[in-house]
Amino acid sequence: MVSYPVEGGCLCGAVRFRIGAPPLRSGYCHCRFCQLNSGAPVVAWAEVPIEAFAYLAGEPGVFVSSSWGQREFCAACGSFLVYRDRRRATSVSINTASLDDPAACPPTHHLFVSRRIPWFETADDLPRYDEGAPPSR
């Protein structure tokens, strides 16, 4: 059982954040943006309501990665922390690995599986969506 708030931050500790509510949804993203942003074949993420997210220390760098989204990161060490939808900012998607306790937000599904790198496969039975995410709770 996880108690909220939970905290997280970057590799060097310059940027810290807190989430004050359980995720609306969480999963693995196989999209090309996440691959390029992280340097990994997949990114585990957890989406929380925007009002449940706050930076505690540091000011993140921002990269507008598309007409619809932006990525936030530590400008000192480069750690990818957050994705925000620029069109309807009602939630924030956090890079799960940046949480102090990543086990607090286990993935429940895969999305953008149509863009999965062919040599990478996860060993789980979670639901898989070729494109976007299922509706949040």
CB 72 within 8 A of CB 30: no
Distances (CA, A) of 52 to 85, 89, 122: 16, 12, 30
Report pLDDT digits (tens) over 23-66: 999 999 998 988 888 899 999 999 999 999 999 999 999 998 88
Strand partners, 80: 73
pLDDT for position 2: 86
Report pLDDT digits (tens) over 87-119: 878 999 999 999 999 999 999 999 999 999 999
Residue 33 backbone phi and psi in degrees, to 5: -60, -50
pLDDT over 70 at 6, yes or no:
yes
- CATH assignment, 6-115: 2.170.150.70
pLDDT over 70 at 137, yes or no:
no
